Structures are given as structure tokens and as C-alpha cells.
A = this chain, B = another copy of it.
Amino acid sequence: MSAYKHVLIGLDLQPESQQVVERVKSLFPESSLLRTLMHVQEPLSFAYGGDIPMDLTEVQNQLEEQARERLAVVGKELGIPPENQHVIIGQPAHEMHRFASDNNVDLIVVGSHGRHGLSLILGSTATGVLHGSQCDVLAVKV
């Protein structure tokens, strides 16, 4: 995989993420390659903001902390150091594109989510990442 220098691995931390992790292990074991792990959480306020008159900051912080812990486990498994693990609040495709542009990422790896019926209606994250990406995108079948 010498064609790539910086691979961004986007995980939604669902059980299927493990298939993406396994693929990354077999495709990008090189330590000479920069690998970044990222999990993007949609802000709770996007989902519930207008309807529920409560402060969701604490819940968001807890979710973020949980994601950090789970990403750390994956990072350890892949040998990716903490400084290359990122939990970001935002829109997944947008945040991955932004990080990719700012950090010379030449390949984004995401799960395809092909099995989920909902993605047929809502559009999967993989489709969103593909759309408008300034670098190559590998969608791993999950």
C-alpha cells in the first residue's frame, strides 16, 4: 500500500466497525504509514435540540468520553497512538473531509453499511464521505 501516505480511518464504533478494523490490519500494517483513527459524533442538539427544553451538554460529554475510551481500545489493537485518535462532534462526512484536507490524507477508510436498510433511505456515511471527497475512499463491506 505504498501508494498512500496518510490513511484516515473513520469508525462509527458500532459492532460492524470490527470488520473495518480487521481490514485495516491486513491492508495497512506498515508503521511507515501515518494512520489516524476518527469517530465523529453528531451533536445531540441536531437530533433533539428544538423539541426537548433541557441542557444536553452533560450527556454529550458522557457520550464523547465513552467514544474516546472505545476508540482507545481500537487504537491499541491497531497500534495507533493516542495523538492520532480523534473524537469530533459534527457531521461525519464533513468532519472527515475537513480533517483529510487539513492533514494531507490520501485515503479515507469507512464501513459501507451495506447491510442496513436505513442507509437506503437516509444515505450511508460512506456515500456521504465519497461524495465530494478530495482523496480516495475505501468502503469496507460491513
* Among candidates B3, B120, B127, residue contacting A27 with C-beta atoms closer than 8 Å: B3
Considering the chains assembled together, what is the distance between the CA atoms of A134 and B139 in angstroms? Answer: 11
Q: Which residues of A contact B (CB under 8 A)?
A: 1-3, 23, 26-27, 112, 114, 120, 124, 126-127, 130-141
Chain B residues contacting A127 (CB-CB under 8 Å) are 127, 130-131
Chain B residues contacting A114 (CB-CB under 8 Å) are 131-134
Residues B130 and A136 in contact, CB atoms below 8 Å apart: no
A-B contact pairs, 15 of them (CB 8 A): A1-B27, A3-B26, A23-B136, A112-B137, A114-B132, A124-B130, A124-B131, A126-B130, A127-B130, A133-B139, A133-B141, A135-B141, A136-B139, A137-B138, A137-B141
Chain B residues contacting A130 (CB-CB under 8 Å) are 112, 124, 126-127, 130, 139
Considering the chains assembled together, what is the distance between the CA atoms of A79 and B138 in angstroms? Answer: 24
Residues B138 and A136 in contact, CB atoms below 8 Å apart: yes
7 additional A-B residue pairs with CB within 8 Å, beyond A124-B130, A130-B139, A137-B138: A3-B26, A112-B133, A114-B131, A114-B134, A126-B130, A133-B139, A138-B138
